[in-house]
Structure 1
Amino acid sequence: MNVWRPGNRIRLLENGEAYYPRVFEAIRAAQREVLIETFILFDDKVGRALRDELIAAARRGVTVHLTVDGYGSPDLSEEFIEGMTAAGVHFHVFDPQPKLLGLRTNLFRRMHRKIVVVDATLAFVGGINFSLDHLQEFGPEAKQDYAIEIEGPVVADIHGFAAQVVGGTREQHRRWWHWPGHRHLAPAPLDTQDAVALFVVRDNQGHRTDIEEHYIDALRRAKGRALIANAYFFPGYRLLRELRNAARRGVDVRLVLQGQPDMRWVQFFGRMLYDYLLREGVRIYEYCERPLHGKVAVIDEEWATVGSSNLDPLSLAVNLEANVVVRDRAFAQRLYERLDGLVRSHCRLITSEEVSSRNPLRLALSFLAYHFARRFPAWVGLLPAHTPRMEHILPREGDAALGTADHARETAPKEAHGL
């Protein structure tokens, strides 16, 4: 577990147009089990299509577990959920909390992962949720995003992790939440036939910095180029320093960030770091065609990562995240080509003249932003916290056969592991 696995076949999926058909096809072919974790599930065209596929799978005897986040998916109706549980789907909500004056209160420690595992042989990991805004038909606000389809030995690690989240034994929980973590930073030998891959998670127990450590290690080893596309960019001091150091020693460091953000305040804070990075030789591009939602990177000719983790304080210090790190020249080249094409066709290069202002207010804001990024993990630990819980909405025995909407709710605070 949590070791480099050779012999994998990994396929890049760009946007919902590529992702949803492959996931739905895999669910239709499932014979034993479907496990899904998603931050957002909406009752829209995409959400209803997923629901229908899961209902059909459950009715033919496949074990189906669907986990959503209480913050990201707060408005699913009883009818929407009961349609699944009546068919035999096991529905789980991570940290459901009541709203206060119409506002969501579970701001921190979100389950932000996006994972699909089918029959323990095929997996999907990335940043794409189940919502219409990941399809171009949504319009100008449709998101640009990425995921991967995986076959091979690393799928067993992803499956073991996803299975224990929704009902593993105490021993499974113990093994998975005490895995070695980022001690497996050293890159494995390249597999000349297939990809070497590593499944990495971030939680609030033993794996608080694992994803960040893999980025840092790859940047320290970088020799030629580093191309990082990330939706919400406000990393901590150590990652900023490694970006700067890589550029200083001649690595071509390029960042692709949001130019048409879905949340303006994210772009505002991210831009506070531009001057620091540009002065050291990092090139920054803003993607301006539509909102960027990707969380991907390619470093040199063979290292790449795709997953759910942004490079901001929430993802790096609070949320539950999952990435796959890949060592494979063919996959790295494919991802690089797609990102490089994005840069060439739809991005705007940010110049030093745009951000190098000696305005005292801007200097003060940049100083505060920089040190906020550096100290956020320590500060957030001082905020009032609760123990996130997992609510299980389980089908009663015989529900699927009877087609009834009766179901059982079981609230189990101690089951929300890796908080």
Structure 2
Amino acid sequence: MARQWTDGNKFTLLENGEAFYPRVFEVIAAARHEVLLETFILYEDKVGLQLQAALVAAAQRGAQVDITIDGFGSPDLSEEFIATLTTAGVRVHIFDPATKLFGQRLNWFRRLHRKLVAVDGVIAFIGGINYSADHLADFGPEAKQDYAVEAEGPIVACIRDFMRTAIEKGKPGWRWPHWRRTRPVPAALPRAGDARALFVWRDNRRHTNDIERHYRLAIRLARRRVMIANAYFFPGYRFLKELRKAARRGVEVSLILQGNPDLPIVQTAAAMLYHHLLRANIHIYEYLERPLHGKVAVVDEDWATVGSSNLDPLSLSLNLEANVFILDRGFNQQLADNLEGLIKHSCRKVEAADLRESSLWRLVRSFFLFHFLRRFPTWAGWLPAHGPRLTSVPPPALPEGADRVNRTAGS
């Protein structure tokens, strides 16, 4: 599947579940031919139930509906929840559905971390928002701050083809003819706007570092500003080197990181890099209002990215991820204004004086961090690297003579 920049796209920024869920459910409600959805987390809460209802309705209208969930991120869905989907004709696929051992999940590595939606081959969504109530403000202090985009234009075909191929390749005995028998969608979509875009994914075979490479290239070419908001920040040595070089040549480099983390170890890991970054005149802001879950960035006046990839070892070296890279001044400015608003109203700036630790400990720690970050991609290759195999959940058996309408929808 070729990767190339496409012209004529339009992107709409969606902030948090309040903007994301209503729009996704509205588009699914209008689906006539096909709904493809991938997510890391799907919970059986008010958001998950709304998604279930939307998918069931689409399948009952005759659309082919495929949903792929991660076996680690979504391990506790009830049989009734799944059966409601499959009975309506929704095809449910589970990535790496490992069984528990003594109540513990063992499938820690190579997670399906993407969050993608494609509807009728003409509208797509990509970002970091899962399907769970903790992405809504009324969840309380633990509600997450996050982003996604709605995409229109030729880039949608790239996303749709990737998602369809991922399903077909995940099946045992996959052959290309199976992919060709899917419902047809437009081969070339009309222009929807002026944005250039590139859809990039990370896998454990041919595209192991593509997302990171595009980040590093943008930072290397930056002339005025680099602004990154990322939930889990512990990137590799080469990434940090590009950030420091950019700051030293006069680029304003700003990082928005977690100050109210959902996992305390996240803040601890990022803080281990603070001295190294501050010495290069990189600005660090800790977002305090609620847990930061976003994975977005802007560079200069036209480059931006939104997606599922954190900047930590899991996302950069192990997980299956997807980002869209956007060249569009209007979208860049909108996202930059949003991030600057976070800095102004909800962040605390980290100063060197705030970091109280001995010089000796800092020297020792920096030595080990340097070697860990430099060698981690190699070490990650030693971990289990199972292929993208999916388990498809069959619909429940019906009593003899029972109505089987919609059981074969989308087959």
Q: Give the TM-score taking structure 1 as reference length.
A: 0.89
Which residue is equivalent to 1:270?
270
* Matching of residue 220 in structure 1 with residue 248 in structure 2: no
Output the CA distance in 2 between the equivalents of 1:172 and 1:258: 46
Q: What is the deviation of 1:170?
A: 3.3
* Matching of residue 4 in structure 1 with residue 9 in structure 2: no
From the superposition, tell whether residues 109 and 224 of structure 1 become closer, same or farther in structure 2 (CA, over 3 Å): same
Whichever residue aligns with residue 237 of structure 1, its letter is Y
Gaps of 5+ in 1: 176-190, 408-419
Output the CA distance in 2 between the equivalents of 1:287 and 1:27: 33
The Cα offsets for residues 105-140 of structure 1, whole Å up to 9 and x where unpaired, read as 100000000000000000000000000000001100
Output the CA distance in 2 between the equivalents of 1:192 and 1:115: 19
Q: Describe how 1:13-92 pairs up with structure 2 within 5 A.
A: 13-92=14-93
* Matching of residue 317 in structure 1 with residue 322 in structure 2: no
From the superposition, tell whether residues 125 and 398 of structure 1 become closer, same or farther in structure 2 (CA, over 3 Å): farther
The Cα offsets for residues 158-202 of structure 1, whole Å up to 9 and x where unpaired, read as 000001111266348999xxxxxxxxxxxxxxx995111110000
* Cα pair 1:272 1:370 within 8 Å, conserved: no
Which residue is equivalent to 2:183?
none
* Matching of residue 106 in structure 1 with residue 111 in structure 2: no
* Cα pair 1:114 1:308 within 8 Å, conserved: yes
Q: What is the deviation of 1:380?
A: 2.0
The Cα offsets for residues 399-418 of structure 1, whole Å up to 9 and x where unpaired, read as 9x9369999xxxxxxxxxxx
* Matching of residue 238 in structure 1 with residue 238 in structure 2: yes
Q: What is the deviation of 1:289?
A: 0.5
From the superposition, tell whether residues 398 and 77 of structure 1 become closer, same or farther in structure 2 (CA, over 3 Å): closer
Output the CA distance in 2 between the equivalents of 1:290 and 1:159: 33
Cα RMSD between the aligned structures?
Answer: 2.4
Output the CA distance in 2 between the equivalents of 1:333 and 1:145: 17
Output the CA distance in 2 between the equivalents of 1:127 and 1:322: 9
Q: What is the deviation of 1:307?
A: 0.1
* Cα pair 2:199 2:322 within 8 Å, conserved: yes
Please state whether the residue corresponding to 1:339 is helix, strand or coil: helix
Q: Give the TM-score taking structure 2 as reference length.
A: 0.90
* Matching of residue 350 in structure 1 with residue 350 in structure 2: yes
The partner residue of 2:175 within 165, 170, 175 is 170
Which residue is equivalent to 2:281?
281
Fraction of identical pairs, as percent:
58
From the superposition, tell whether residues 127 and 193 of structure 1 become closer, same or farther in structure 2 (CA, over 3 Å): closer
Which residue is equivalent to 2:188?
none
Which residue is equivalent to 1:328?
328
Which residue is equivalent to 1:198?
198
Which residue is equivalent to 2:98?
97
Whichever residue aligns with residue 256 of structure 1, its letter is I
Output the CA distance in 1 between the equivalents of 2:205 and 2:106: 22
From the superposition, tell whether residues 205 and 386 of structure 1 become closer, same or farther in structure 2 (CA, over 3 Å): closer
Which residue is equivalent to 2:185?
none
Q: What is the deviation of 1:382?
A: 2.2
Whichever residue aligns with residue 201 of structure 1, its letter is W
From the superposition, tell whether residues 104 and 242 of structure 1 become closer, same or farther in structure 2 (CA, over 3 Å): same
Which residue is equivalent to 1:187?
none
Gaps of 5+ in 2: 181-190
Q: Describe how 1:283-302 pairs up with structure 2 within 5 A.
A: 283-302=283-302
Please state whether the residue corresponding to 1:108 is helix, strand or coil: coil
Output the CA distance in 2 between the equivalents of 1:279 and 1:172: 56
Q: What is the deviation of 1:233?
A: 0.2
Which residue is equivalent to 1:229?
229
Which residue is equivalent to 1:381?
381
Which residue is equivalent to 1:252?
252
Which residue is equivalent to 2:308?
308
Which residue is equivalent to 2:365?
365
Output the CA distance in 2 between the equivalents of 1:123 and 1:277: 36
Q: What is the deviation of 1:100?
A: 1.8
Which residue is equivalent to 2:339?
339
